[in-house]
Amino acid sequence: MQNQIISLSLFIILFGTELNSQNVYWSHSLRSSDDHSYEILDIAIDSQLNVYTVGYFEEDLVFSFIDGQDTIMSFGNQDVFISKHDSLGYLLWVNQIGGGSDDKARRIIVSDMNKIYVGGHFTGGAIFVDADSETEIEGGNKSGFIVEISASGNFNWISTVDDLSNLDGPYEIEITALEQDSKNLYVGGWYRGEVDFDIGPGEYIGNSGSSSNFSRNTFVKKLSKNGSQKFTRSIGDWTDLVCYGIGLDSLSNIYYGGIFSDNPDFNAGVDIDTISSKGASDCFIQKLDSIGNYIWTKTWGGEHAEFITNIEVDKHGNIFSLGYFQFEGEVMPGVETLSLDAIGTGFDIYLSKLDSQGEFNWVNQIGDNGSEYAEGLSLDYHGNIYLTGRFGSQELAFTSSTNETCILEGQNHTSLLVAGFNQMGDFIWGTTNDNHYADPNINESNIYGANISTDVNGDVYVVGDYNRTVDLDASIGQSILVADNVDGFIVKFHPIKELLSDIENHELYSNFSIYPNPSNGNVSIINKSKVDKLNYIILDINGRVIKKSILNTNTKIDLDVSSGIYFVQFYNKDRRFTKKIIIH
């Protein structure tokens, strides 16, 4: 067993260095008009490299298709949206879920058969809208939902978990985790009050305590792929216990994790396993077998508040947990002599590994004098671990017991954090947004990576939100997005096996010229490179497609558009990069 804080890297990551180079295939931003906001909270990739996202929006949301734009209007304060983009980032369809109040979806997964599953909650009732139909579902004070969607965007079935309290107060339910094997779905979350966990004519009642207690309890459900319930487990009693992540091994043993306080009984069966927290909130990981029998629980924490935000589990049952902590004294499970101390007064991030028996292997600490936070976590097909979040320091130091250092350069506000590690915890790649851009609006922006996913080619996809203006490409290219208020983004990176070296990438970029620039709309694009079969697409600053065609050696374009900034994306099946056009 390894008991260690892992060495993160022998390298320094700075703008333009080899390790920080990446090909930004594409990036997009959905937009809400006026001062309304929206967030993209999760992302999933299917076998054809189509991209699915889920989140919520206020008032309205504008989508840009190749042949024009479409706007959806919310039914209440916040509605859920579900979107599908193709492998090049072009939008294919959008679904909507909403009622008269606040509705949100946090998790999306896609099966090997390209079925999409989404988990979230709505208040009172909701309308599920796809391209062909509208389905109205009644609910309680607040209801959780799980829905299956076809690859073409149609809702196949909808299941709900209803609040039975019918009382004033903070009674609620949230679905925070989804996982699957070939035949079943596994759902994790938390609730306050009294809920019916059965789907169908029966009832399985969970109760988190009296109306004066308002504690949260954790639940785990196993469903068949047609939405019928197989079992539900609920723990917490009168204490506060919240699930934030769930995973499976190759035998469909279930692992889930979150935070707790006080001294809950972690065993949902007849036996008792009571564990007391050391501080305001501690972290836990629990293992059940495939039919819901209790196996073990591991906990860790210190005198202050610690948080777990996500977990991933590989086929061998190794558990990777992501979270953050403040101050000093976070003690890892089973290793009382190993504790983590935050570098500054803000939060630091931790990434840890336990084996299938819950034994501690290693932990990485990521932090500096600012405050760091991470929620997105993903395993690729080679077992590498990727995380995303944000950092608020001028430099983000990856520190280790061997005193080796890796640095991401930050800015005055929060910067994007994306980082990858192998199974041993060694750092393999990382990036942030470009903080060297001359435009002060970019350097004053805030950006946050909410979640992350990978595909079979090793490419990395990140979703999150930002304000002002950001450049998501920290290499020589540009991938600029502009927000009205707080908008969401999707970006696809190619971080590991570079299609082009830095020198070749720079030569390709410099062999494309646009003149005159600025112009009145009549421009020429000169391709002096040896790369053929390139396409180009011109977008306005809102991401709306203006023109799309094939690039020749000398391509002349007449743009009949208003004054402003526009972007030309050049792409083929291997690469994509962007240049800016200014029209006066």
Nearest to 430 by CA among 362, 542, 349: 349
pLDDT of residue 406: 57
**E strand or H helix at 35:** none
Count of domains forming the chain: 2
Q: Domain check: are 521 and 453 in the same one?
A: no
- Identify the domain containing residue 577 by its residue range: 511-583
| 577: in domain | yes
Angle at 14 between CA 13 and CA 18, to 5 degrees: 70
Q: Domain check: are 487 and 523 in the same one?
A: no
pLDDT of residue 5: 41
Q: DSSP letter string over 208-262?
A: ---TTT---EEEEEEEETTS-EEEEEEE-TTS-EEEEEEEE-TT--EEEEEEE-S
Q: Domain check: are 394 and 522 in the same one?
A: no
Q: Domain check: are 494 and 517 in the same one?
A: no
Please list, in sequence order, all residues whose beta carbon lies within 8 angstroms of the beta carbon of residue 62, skipping any fewer than 6 positions away: 30, 31, 32, 33, 69, 70, 71, 542
Q: Domain check: are 484 and 533 in the same one?
A: no
Share of the chain above pLDDT 90, in %: 38
Angle at 493 between CA 487 and CA 499, to 5 degrees: 150
Domain limit, last residue, from 463, 498, 533: 498
Q: Domain check: are 154 and 278 in the same one?
A: yes
User: CATH number, domain at 123?
Assistant: 2.130.10.10
pLDDT tens per residue across span 166-180:
544 456 788 999 999
Where the chain has pLDDT below 70, the residues are 1-23, 30-35, 66-68, 163-171, 198-214, 329-331, 334-337, 397-407, 412, 434-444, 471-485, 496-510, 530-533, 541-544, 572-577
Domain limit, last residue, from 498, 533, 565: 498
User: CATH number, domain at 527?
Assistant: 2.60.40.3080
| Cβ-contact 429, 419 below 8 angstroms | yes
| 505: in domain | no
Q: What are phi and psi of 470, to 5 degrees?
A: -130, 150
**E strand or H helix at 290:** none
pLDDT tens per residue across span 184-213:
999 999 988 777 776 555 555 565 554 445
| Cβ-contact 171, 139 below 8 angstroms | no
| 228: in domain | yes
| 468: in domain | yes
Domain limit, last residue, from 443, 475, 498: 498
pLDDT tens per residue across span 470-518:
766 655 455 566 656 678 889 998 774 333 333 344 455 567 788 888 8
The token pair that represents 156 in the structure block: 């196949």
pLDDT of residue 310: 97
Local structure of residue 457 (DSSP, 8 states)? T
Nearest to 66 by CA among 40, 38, 39, 85: 85
| 171: in domain | yes
Q: Domain check: are 486 and 529 in the same one?
A: no
| 357: in domain | yes
| Cβ-contact 209, 268 below 8 angstroms | no
Q: Domain check: are 551 and 418 in the same one?
A: no
Q: Domain check: are 523 and 490 in the same one?
A: no
Q: Domain check: are 111 and 150 in the same one?
A: yes
pLDDT of residue 407: 66
Q: DSSP letter string over 564-582?
A: EEEEEEEE-SS-EEEEEEE
Strands, sheet with 282-288, edge to edge from the N-terminal-most edge strand: 241-248, 254-260, 282-288, 294-300
pLDDT of residue 35: 67
Local structure of residue 472 (DSSP, 8 states)? -
pLDDT of residue 387: 97
Q: Domain check: are 410 and 533 in the same one?
A: no
pLDDT tens per residue across span 539-561:
776 556 788 888 877 788 888 88
| Cβ-contact 39, 450 below 8 angstroms | yes
Nearest to 238 by CA among 259, 267, 207, 268: 207
pLDDT of residue 500: 35
Q: Domain check: are 467 and 518 in the same one?
A: no
| 506: in domain | no
Q: How many CB atoms lie within 10 A of CB 416?
A: 28
- Start-to-end Cα distance in the chain: 65
| 504: in domain | no
